[in-house]
Amino acid sequence: MSVYDDLLAFQRETEALAQIAGRLGWDQETMMPRGAAAQRGEEMGAIEGVLHSRRVDPRIGGWLGAINGDTLDDVARANIRHISRSYERNSKVPADLAAEIARVTSVAQGVWAEARENEDFISFAPTLESVVALRQQEAQALANGGDMYDALLNDYEPGMTGARLGAMFDALRPRLVALRERVLGSGRGPAALNHDFDEAGQMAISAQLATTFGYDLDRGRIDKAVHPFSSGSGQDVRITTRTSPRDPFNCFYSTIHEVGHACYEQGINDAYLLTPLGAGVSMGVHESQSRIYENQMGRSRAFSGYLFGKMQDQFGDFGIGNPDQFYATVNRVQPGYIRTEADEIHYNLHVLMRFDLERALISGDLAVRDLPDAWNSRFLADFGVAVDRPSNGCLQDVHWSVGLFGYFPTYTLGNVYAGCLNKAMRAAVPDLDAGLAVGDTTAATAWLRDNLQTHGGLYEPREVVARACGFEPNEEPLLDYLDEKFGAIYGV
Amino acid sequence: MSVYDDLLAFQRETEALAQIAGRLGWDQETMMPRGAAAQRGEEMGAIEGVLHSRRVDPRIGGWLGAINGDTLDDVARANIRHISRSYERNSKVPADLAAEIARVTSVAQGVWAEARENEDFISFAPTLESVVALRQQEAQALANGGDMYDALLNDYEPGMTGARLGAMFDALRPRLVALRERVLGSGRGPAALNHDFDEAGQMAISAQLATTFGYDLDRGRIDKAVHPFSSGSGQDVRITTRTSPRDPFNCFYSTIHEVGHACYEQGINDAYLLTPLGAGVSMGVHESQSRIYENQMGRSRAFSGYLFGKMQDQFGDFGIGNPDQFYATVNRVQPGYIRTEADEIHYNLHVLMRFDLERALISGDLAVRDLPDAWNSRFLADFGVAVDRPSNGCLQDVHWSVGLFGYFPTYTLGNVYAGCLNKAMRAAVPDLDAGLAVGDTTAATAWLRDNLQTHGGLYEPREVVARACGFEPNEEPLLDYLDEKFGAIYGV
């Protein structure tokens, strides 16, 4: 095993350095003085350079070639699978192309932000064209003649294909559109919140919610940031949240969402610390955890009743009369422009749209200059509303400006996986709602930890979900859950 | 200049990575979840490994050999001087010795902490013997037949020798001892504080003091930590402070001290960012800045009058009647056991003692097992008090456990430099006290920035102080300052 040990020791240092780079990103969003941006850019470039050269270090190829796979156990085989994949992926991309992508995307984010501010897509178009062209080049280098979009998708969801996602999303779309039409045509409109909620009170409830959902603050911490996120693996998994005076749900459900991500990382077998198995296995599986914590648990009738009481204790009467009305308010359906503010039904319609559009951009079927029209006509078809301005349309998300193509669909894949896991979990833990109603999530979170989170990168993404569920993941459980939940709330 | 450019580009990445490693240390003391220690150890080991291999990278030797020094300007020559020194120093120490020192000192700190807790020097002695033996080996590798202590000292104070420090300290000691005897025999005893000071109030004044002394919060931040420190260079220089309910001076003067360190880093010419010139040039010069901010300015009659008013505004009457009494309280002289709690006179006696003892440990003239007796008899001679227990004696400081030999004397060297700079600054800025009395330090801090801080690593440590002062640094100005100040307060 000595060659394998050498490889793992080298990889362990790389994983440790990757944790440092990740924490530098956390620091940038939470702690960094605002005048330190230029220096921080050089620091990030330096550590990313170290990581890249380690990931393509020719010694890895030598070690991999010298290891006899027959002598390895399951854990070692999985480690080798991850290391090989990373080594091959990074070695395929010429260094000058990787550097050019890093350079252009770092500038592009600023161009995008200014274009969005100015409602001016045209000023962003040439930059986006460069980003698309560079990612196309990278995809060609990675795909070896195969599908270019799949090559990009595999960075976020190993083993998944655009065709498979496309089939799944084609099955989702008509039922989601039909459900939203039934809901919006129901004539029912739950009350929105109309009250001010002090920041300290929001943060106090937020911290309680994190603990309620099993987040271990001995191995994590909660800070505020402009955009909520989760960061890190192993013993140091940090989350951020934010507050908005009129919208405490933004704070509470951002926290529960990020706690889902963080609990996945914290739930991984300790033995995998700083190895390729010691982190969430894919974006889709990660999102399944954030979503099942946020939606299937956090927005359930049972848990929202508990939250209603918490909010009354903290804020007094805030204008919602009873737990059933509160449940409807938490799950209010509205056809808004913005993905990140969308309800559980519209959210997936947002993602499906982006998936089709970005596949067409990468394949070349859609030109960047035609993106606004394509976006706006698709939005009108799926949401029944005309986009009024670019910041409410194709300029709303940062993703494409920083080169993230193949990332969007993992959001809905995560919802699909969450639907499957929720079905299996509720079968395995029949009294789950009784716990949620009193703020006790332990039965649910323990089931998720023992059946999914603990495995880290041991199995392939789809496989780990299938093993936890006992059936092949598919879109039906999510659709059934949405139909039942929103059918009941809206009486349709 | 192309070879020089290649060398500097490589060095720039190393400096950026060193900033990351430093910030990881900051994070560990301020933000890290307590359960993350083991993982953090591996992360620190990984980034230190990257830094070490870059510092001994054979390409540096090639670049240095290929550069024609005659064509370089002053800045380039200074950069080459720093890079050569680092390359030679790190290349002289065998990799296995460096690794063994890292391993033993990382364990030794824990052994020391437990021994101090248990008042048990004997349990620490074998560990300290190992640390001393390893540092002796390292010193031999570095010294090339020269003085071993000087080889270690040069890590902290390039160009300085033990003999030169010894002569300076031998001149200091009798006058310091005589002054403390006059002061303690004066029959005067300024009142101590005897009041509770709320933490929020201490932190509010602390933040105001930082700004008052010119700390730029756009390129820094203040957090709380168990031990106050300053961290980072360039655009991201962070400080920490602490609060103690009965002792707000601990908070305020820790803050001013760390602000002195931080302003040195922030005051360096922007053009030196992430180059070898872009950081404070030595520990002694660094300490001169922290001390002149803390003592010659912060503990002056003029500034203490301003602070008295601030504290009355914040805390109301706290039992000190007027600014003169307050000034005496701020500068209260007491022969305590603990270096970090010492007044301006006793502090240097603490350091002189440690300097003599550690030189004897490194030369082999003093055996580790004889350290407590040597410490206690010297303490009795210089302080007139018998040490009552090891935690008040030779177990009080962490330094030796982590292998820091040659570091202690830079504290008093810093005081000596501060004495020189204070003399020169007061000659150049005659109305300095008028500003300090109303909380305006700009004339003083601008003089220090323009005459010393801005140069970063451009000149050698002693040279940069001499250039600022207009005379060769020596101990007389510090002694004159102490005699005059404490003579006036105590009427002796």
SS (H, E, C) B74-109: HHHHHHHHHHHHHHHHHHHCCHHHHHHHHHHHHHHH
Closest CA to A489 of A179, A254, A246: A179
Q: Which residue of B has its CA nearest to A270?
A: B39
Q: How many CA atoms lie within 13 A of B460 on its CB side?
A: 10
A46 and B16 in contact by Cβ < 8 A? yes
Residue B345 token pair = 């006179």
B33 and A274 in contact by Cβ < 8 A? no
Burial class (CB in 10 A: 0-12, 13-18, 19+), B121: buried
Of B19, B34, B39, the CB nearest to A218: B34
pLDDT digits over B231-243, tens only?
999 999 999 999 9
In chain A, pLDDT over 90 holds for what percent of residues? 96
3-state secondary structure of A102: helix
Contacts of A46 in chain B (CB under 8 A): 13-14, 16-17, 20
A294/A309 Cα distance (integer angstroms): 18
Q: Is residue A258 a contact partner of residue A220, using CB atoms and an 8 Å limit?
A: no
Contacts of B14 in chain A (CB under 8 A): 46
A7/A60 Cα distance (integer angstroms): 7
Q: What is the mean pLDDT of residues B51-65?
A: 97
B59/B40 Cα distance (integer angstroms): 30
**Dihedral sign (CA B309, B314, B316, B320):** negative
Is the CB of residue B42 less than 8 Å away from at least one CB of chain A? yes
ipTM of the complex: 0.95
Q: Where are the alpha helices (DSSP H) in A292-340?
A: 301-315, 323-330
A108/A110 Cα distance (integer angstroms): 5
**Dihedral sign (CA A456, A459, A460, A463):** negative
Q: What is the mean pLDDT of residues A262-286?
A: 98
A16 and B46 in contact by Cβ < 8 A? yes
Closest CA to A475 of A426, A430, A433, A423: A423
Is the CB of residue A225 less than 8 Å away from at least one CB of chain B? no
Predicted confidence at residue B228, as pLDDT, reads: 96
Residue B239: what are its φ and ψ, rounded to 5°? -125, 160
Closest CA to A346 of A227, A172, A162: A172
Q: Is residue B217 a contact partner of residue B6, using CB atoms and an 8 Å limit?
A: no
Band of residue A1 on the pLDDT scale cut at 50, 70, 90: low
Of B23, B43, B50, the CB nearest to A19: B43
Of A14, A36, A274, the CB nearest to B219: A36
Is the CB of residue A40 less than 8 Å away from at least one CB of chain B? yes
B111/B208 Cα distance (integer angstroms): 39
Q: Which residue of A has its CA nearest to B50?
A: A50
Contacts of B230 in chain A (CB under 8 A): none
Identify any residues that bridge with B231 across adjacent strands, giving them in sequence order. B238
Is the CB of residue A438 less than 8 Å away from at least one CB of chain B? no
Q: What is the mean pLDDT of residues A216-223?
A: 98
Residue B190: what are its φ and ψ, rounded to 5°? -55, 150
Is the CB of residue B9 less than 8 Å away from at least one CB of chain A? no
Topology of domain B157-492, CATH: Neurolysin; domain 3 (1.10.1370)
At which residue do the structure tokens 């922007």 appear? B270
Contacts of B218 in chain A (CB under 8 A): 33-35
Q: Which residue of A has its CA nearest to B24?
A: A20
Q: Where are the domains of chain A?
A: 2-156, 158-492
Give exposure, B153-191, as e/b (b: 16+ Cβ within 10 Å): bbbbbbebebeebbebbeebbebbbebbeebbeeeeebe
3-state secondary structure of A439: coil
Contacts of A23 in chain B (CB under 8 A): 24, 27
Band of residue A106 on the pLDDT scale cut at 50, 70, 90: confident
A16 and B39 in contact by Cβ < 8 A? yes
Band of residue B201 on the pLDDT scale cut at 50, 70, 90: very high
Contacts of B38 in chain A (CB under 8 A): 235, 273
Of A40, A218, A234, the CB nearest to B39: A234
Closest CA to A264 of A65, A137, A63, A421: A421
A348/A300 Cα distance (integer angstroms): 18
Contacts of B278 in chain A (CB under 8 A): none
Q: How many CB pairs under 8 A join A and B?
A: 111
**Catalytic option among A15, A157, A258, A344:** A258
Is the CB of residue A271 less than 8 Å away from at least one CB of chain B? no
A279/B384 Cα distance (integer angstroms): 60
pLDDT over threshold 90, residue B69: no
A16 and B42 in contact by Cβ < 8 A? yes
| Separation in Å, CA of A204 to nearest CA in chain B | 19
Predicted confidence at residue B71, as pLDDT, reads: 86
Active site residue A265: no
Q: Is residue B156 a contact partner of residue B411, using CB atoms and an 8 Å limit?
A: no
pLDDT digits over A165-216, tens only?
999 999 999 999 999 999 999 999 899 999 999 999 999 999 999 999 999 9
Is the CB of residue B33 less than 8 Å away from at least one CB of chain A? yes
B275/B281 Cα distance (integer angstroms): 12
Is the CB of residue A46 less than 8 Å away from at least one CB of chain B? yes
Q: What is the mean pLDDT of residues B121-147?
A: 97
Predicted confidence at residue B1, as pLDDT, reads: 57
pLDDT digits over B266-289, tens only?
999 999 999 999 999 999 999 999
Contacts of A13 in chain B (CB under 8 A): 42, 45-46, 49
pLDDT over threshold 80, residue B31: yes
B42 and A12 in contact by Cβ < 8 A? yes
Q: Which residue of A has its CA nearest to B16?
A: A43
Sheet holding A222-224, edge to edge: A222-224, A238-241, A230-231
Instruction: Choose which CATH entry (1.10.1370.30, 1.20.1260.10, 3.80.10.10, 2.130.10.10) describes domain A158-492.
Output: 1.10.1370.30
Of A42, A49, A221, the CB nearest to B31: A221
A39 and B236 in contact by Cβ < 8 A? yes
Burial class (CB in 10 A: 0-12, 13-18, 19+), B417: buried
Predicted confidence at residue A71, as pLDDT, reads: 86
Pairing of strands A230-231, A238-241: antiparallel
Residue A325 token pair = 């009305």
B373 CB-near residues (< 8 Å, 6+ apart)? none
Cβ under 8 Å to A: B residues 160-219: 216-219
Of B16, B43, B221, the CB nearest to A43: B16
pLDDT over threshold 70, residue B408: yes
| Separation in Å, CA of B240 to nearest CA in chain A | 13
B39 and A274 in contact by Cβ < 8 A? yes
A242/A226 Cα distance (integer angstroms): 6
B92/B98 Cα distance (integer angstroms): 10
Amino acid A239 reads I
pLDDT digits over A427-442, tens only?
999 899 999 999 999 9
Candidates A10, A17, A39: best to mutate against B (most CBs of B within 10 A) is A39
Residue A374 token pair = 């394509």
Element (H, E) at B376: helix B371-383
Band of residue A30 on the pLDDT scale cut at 50, 70, 90: very high
Q: What is the mean pLDDT of residues A71-88?
A: 96
Q: Is residue B414 a contact partner of residue B285, using CB atoms and an 8 Å limit?
A: yes
Q: Is residue A351 a contact partner of residue A338, using CB atoms and an 8 Å limit?
A: no
Band of residue B33 on the pLDDT scale cut at 50, 70, 90: very high
Q: Which residue of A has its CA nearest to B238?
A: A33
Q: Is residue A111 a contact partner of residue A401, using CB atoms and an 8 Å limit?
A: yes
A43 and B20 in contact by Cβ < 8 A? yes
pLDDT digits over A229-267, tens only?
999 999 999 999 999 999 999 999 999 999 999 999 999
Work out the mean pLDDT of chain B and round it to a whole number: 96
B492/B488 Cα distance (integer angstroms): 7
Amino acid A270 reads D
B371/B191 Cα distance (integer angstroms): 36
Spell out where A76-144 has E strands: none
